[in-house]
């Protein structure tokens, strides 16, 4: 894999490790993006770049490495399910982040309602999509999905979070009520 060293506007060198360190201070949730081509084994990968993109039309986005072995199957399928992981799913997260082995071995899942993509048991929420567009993004691809169906787990467990290269759980909620909508 090629790593570039970029120049900032002031002419100093921007090292990839510095970028990773600084951006690691942005806490993210974690999703497992899954798909299943007709007649093939399911594919999936751990993703911390899953985001809401638009309410009208309903769009989401995620980034995937150009070197991902799962992405070609997801792209050929033309659809995917974003499984938003709950706090108790760290091992599942690690399994789908691994570069070898059968990621689905022993994993409980069922076909999502709209696209038939794997919906993982125990996920906090799921978003079932068709691929709307794919754009180049440096050493990644940026995929845009049109939401076809979605839902949350009835008991709404806490999310699995990633911050400074470690897994975390959400802090208890405050008695002041929900946070304001940005």
pLDDT tens-digit profile of 144-160? 999 999 999 988 789 99
Q: How confident is residue 3, by pLDDT bands cut at 50, 70 and 90?
A: very low
CB 36 within 8 A of CB 118: yes
Kindly list the distances between the CA atom of residue 172 and the CA atoms of 124, 159, 169, 175, in Å, as whole numbers in the listed order.
16, 12, 9, 9
Residues 6+ apart with CB under 8 A from 58: 146, 147
- Is the pTM above the cut of 0.75? yes
Q: How far apart are CA 11 and CA 150, in angstroms?
A: 46
Residues across the chain: 182
**What are the φ/ψ torsions at residue 173 (nearest 5 degrees)?**
-70, 155
Q: How far apart are CA 102 and CA 67, in angstroms?
A: 18
Q: Each residue of 73-126: pLDDT tens digit? A: 999 999 999 999 999 999 999 999 998 889 999 999 999 999 999 999 999 999
Residues 6+ apart with CB under 8 A from 108: 120, 121, 122
Q: How far apart are CA 35 and CA 74, in angstroms?
A: 5
Residues 6+ apart with CB under 8 A from 95: 101, 103, 107
What's the confidence (pLDDT) of residue 91? 96
What's the confidence (pLDDT) of residue 105? 94
Q: How far apart are CA 135 and CA 118, in angstroms?
A: 24
Q: How far apart are CA 3 and CA 19, in angstroms?
A: 12
User: Is there a cis peptide before residue 57, judged by omega within 30 degrees of 0?
Assistant: yes
| Of 115, 123, 121, 114, residue with least CA distance to 152 | 123
């Amino acid at each position: 894999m090629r790593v570039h060293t970029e120049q900032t506007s002031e002419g100093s060198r921007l090292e990839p490790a510095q970028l990773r360190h600084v951006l690691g201070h942005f806490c993210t949730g974690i999703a497992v993006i899954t798909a299943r081509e007709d007649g093939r084994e399911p594919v999936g990968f751990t993703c911390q770049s899953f985001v809401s993109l638009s309410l009208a039309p309903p769009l989401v986005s995620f980034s995937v490495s150009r070197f991902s072995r799962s992405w070609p199957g997801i792209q050929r399928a033309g659809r995917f399910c974003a499984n938003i992981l709950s706090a108790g799913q760290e091992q599942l997260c690690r399994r789908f982040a691994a570069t070898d082995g059968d990621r689905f071995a022993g994993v409980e899942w069922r076909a999502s309602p709209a696209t038939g993509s794997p919906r993982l048991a125990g996920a906090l929420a799921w978003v079932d999509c068709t691929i709307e567009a794919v754009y180049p993004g440096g050493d990644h691809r940026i995929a845009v999905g049109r939401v076809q169906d979605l839902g949350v787990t009835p008991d709404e467990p806490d999310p699995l979070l990633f911050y400074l290269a470690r897994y975390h759980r959400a802090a208890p909620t405050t008695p002041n009520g929900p946070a304001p909508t940005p």
